Amino acid sequence: MESIDIAICTNPLPSIHPLVAESRTEGFRFVERLIEEYRSGLNRFDRPGEVLLGASVEGAMVGIGGLSRDPYFNHPAVGRLRHVYVRAAWRRRGVGRVLVMALLEAARPHYQLLTLRTDTAAATAFYQTLGFKPEPHWPHTTHHLRLRNGS
Ligand SMILES: CC(C)(COP(=O)(O)OP(=O)(O)OC[C@H]1O[C@@H](n2cnc3c(N)ncnc32)[C@H](O)[C@@H]1OP(=O)(O)O)[C@@H](O)C(=O)NCCC(=O)NCCS
């Protein structure tokens, strides 16, 4: 297995382009939305407790994922995983796990609780493998992970 490099994306626009095209073909709009929000300045993952990480193999970006404060809870101890996407050819090779583990490390100093929303069976299985619990009651949220006081 090639080594997976995780790095902060300070300007994701050039390197993310292949992911945008592929995700659109797959029917996922959220990578495109990430770019739109970055361009407009609405969300650049550049505030405290926020980061956008890219996963690369041999210099080519194969995955992306962001961490921000949860805009729905709007509580400083609640963060949210957003826009996690791994290129189809790279799935089930550990890229998503390495990416999300890095996002969890980045989250620990800032948040007690992480939320996310997904509507695919693959991502549901993925997040539950990583310890996220299904969350049927909270709006805009399908899963959560407690970072302190157990999960
Ligand atoms: C969900 C996603 C990010 C997972 O990324 P990935 O790199 O394939 O995940 P990993 O290879 O690190 O998987 C880690 C573990 O999660 C579980 N898992 C991952 N994908 C799975 C699937 N399709 N079905 C069942 N379990 C799965 C497995 O236990 C896997 O370990 P294993 O391969 O050793 O069995 C990727 O499939 C993806 O980008 N999907 C499209 C976009 C999407 O749905 N994003 C989430 C929106 S919130």
Residues 40-79: tens digit of each pLDDT = 999 999 999 999 999 999 999 999 999 999 999 989 999 9
Residues 74-133: tens digit of each pLDDT = 899 999 999 999 999 999 999 999 999 999 999 999 999 999 999 999 999 999 999 999
Q: Say which CATH number the domain at 142 has.
A: 3.40.630.30
Q: How many domains does the chain have?
A: 1
120 CB near ligand 1 (under 6 Å): yes
Domain limits for position 67 = 5-146
21 found inside a domain: yes
Rounded to two decimals, the pTM is 0.95
Residue of the nearest CA to atom 16 in ligand 1? 126
Confidence of residue 2 (pLDDT cuts 50, 70, 90): confident
151 found inside a domain: no
For the chain, the first-to-last Cα distance in angstroms comes to 31
Distance 132 CA to ligand 1 centre (A): 13
The answer to whether the beta carbons of residues 82 and 116 sit under 8 Å apart is yes
The answer to whether the beta carbons of residues 63 and 90 sit under 8 Å apart is yes
What is the chain's length? Answer: 151
